[in-house]
Amino acid sequence: MADSTLARIDRTNEHYTFELAQNVNRTTVTFRNHFGIELVGDLYMPAEFQNQVRNGKGVKKFAAIAICGPFGAVKEQASGFYANRMAERGYIALAFDPSFTGESGGEPRYMNSPDINTEDFMAAVDFLSTREDIDPEKIGIIGICGWGGLALNAAAIDTRIKATVASTMYDMSRVTANGYFDSANSADARNKMRSSLMAQRLEDFKALSKGLALKLGGGVVDPLPDDAPYFVKDYHSYYKTSRGYHERSLNSNGGWAVQAATSLLNTKLLAYSDEIQNAVMVLHGEKAHSRYFGEDAFKRLTGSNKELVIVPGASHTDLYDGGKNNAIPFDTLVEFFTKYLK
């Protein structure tokens, strides 16, 4: 199946939103999660790895990091950017498309699931753990934006994940159930949303029976209204411009299926985050609208191996690709992973 999957992927006109580092090699890989969905990722390998293979030496076992996010993005965007930079610094890094999105499998398209998407991270750990060039005791994960919350959920169940970074994180279950800044945190508001989702579910059921697609909720608004909130402007500057646009990115185009909010509305992602024993870093921008998600998530964490890092002056999307000021503190990430992937 892996060969057939790679064969059907047309990369003739492929593009990434960043330049591949000169001392990094990238190759496309596939693996399955335990629901049987085939995931597609890009494996970034440092020059040190390539030199060992080229010289015929025994390949040492590297530390590895699986990376996903932002929520509604693809591996050619921020997760690949992180993987490229971490490979520059000596890690084998895997940026992957989650189920139902990008080049990964799963039907219907543009859906999400707290359970399946948490499993996607665990499947990435399976894949990395079974490679001869990776030390299975030295595997970490990075979740960006909505995948920051999913990364914490994965770390709460998967003890093989020795270190987790939640970067510019959203708690997608909280924002779905409560609205932005908890502005719709009431039973009445949630019941209204439930009624709307169930009505849409019936319409989608009828559409699928006719071979039609699910109704999409729309990606990042474009053109941008003059009165758009500042964080919507931040999203537009990334997803809708040459800086971050990608043709397979939900946020750059038609968005998630409307019905995709159903599971998130009925699930609390961080329920067991206080029981994570392995290391966690919560990384957020000082000026990020989403900062409250990260700070509240950090308050739930226990143990001396937990860190909260606030990047001065950085917005939410600055931690996607560094923004204009190279805001992502990769040296800090390396110090963290070096300390705990040992």
pTM beyond 0.85: the answer is: yes
Q: Which residue, 149, 155, 157, is CA-closest to 177?
A: 149
| 37: Cβ contacts below 8 Å, ≥ 6 apart | 99, 100, 104, 105, 106, 116
CA distance 149 to 147: 5
Long-range contacts of residues 329-335, Cβ cutoff 8 Å, at least 24 apart: 329/283, 330/85, 330/86, 330/89, 332/283, 333/86, 333/142, 333/165, 333/281, 333/283, 334/86, 334/89
Q: Residue 252: its pLDDT value, please?
A: 97
CA distance 169 to 257: 21
Using the 8-state DSSP alphabet, how is residue 18 labeled? S
CA distance 339 to 140: 12
Rg of the Cα atoms in the chain: 19
Q: Residue 14: its pLDDT value, please?
A: 81
| 77: Cβ contacts below 8 Å, ≥ 6 apart | 17, 70, 244, 246, 249, 320, 321
Other C-beta atoms lying within 10 Å of the C-beta of residue 274 = 12
Using the 8-state DSSP alphabet, how is residue 257 labeled? B
187-222 pLDDT, tens digit each: 999 999 999 999 999 999 999 999 999 999 999 999
Average pLDDT across the chain, whole number: 94
CA distance 322 to 304: 28
CA atoms within 13 A on the CB side of 259: 17
Q: Which residue, 89, 71, 87, 73, is CA-closest to 151?
A: 71
Strands 38-46 and 24-32: antiparallel
Contact assessment for residue 314 and residue 323, using Cβ atoms and an 8 Å cutoff: yes
**Containing H/E element for 146?**
helix 146-157
Report how far apart, in Å, the C-alpha atoms of 199 and of each of 114, 129, 206, 246 are: 22, 43, 11, 31
Query: Taking every pair of C-alpha atoms in the chain, what is the biggest distance, in angstroms?
Result: 66
Q: Residue 12: its pLDDT value, please?
A: 61
Long-range contacts of residues 174-180, Cβ cutoff 8 Å, at least 24 apart: 174/268, 174/269, 174/270, 174/293, 175/293, 176/261, 176/264, 176/265, 177/264, 177/265, 180/289
Cross-strand bridge partners of residue 226: none
Angle CA 38–166–286, to nearest 5: 140
The pLDDT tens digits along the chain (342 residues) read 344 455 456 666 689 999 999 999 999 999 999 999 999 999 999 987 766 655 555 667 999 999 999 999 999 999 999 999 999 999 999 999 999 999 999 999 999 999 999 999 999 999 999 999 999 999 999 999 999 999 999 999 999 999 999 999 999 999 999 999 999 999 999 999 999 999 999 999 999 999 999 999 999 999 999 999 999 999 999 999 999 999 999 999 999 999 999 999 999 999 999 999 999 999 999 999 999 999 999 999 999 999 999 999 999 999 999 999 999 999 999 999 999 999
Q: Residue 13: its pLDDT value, please?
A: 67
Q: Residue 42: its pLDDT value, please?
A: 98
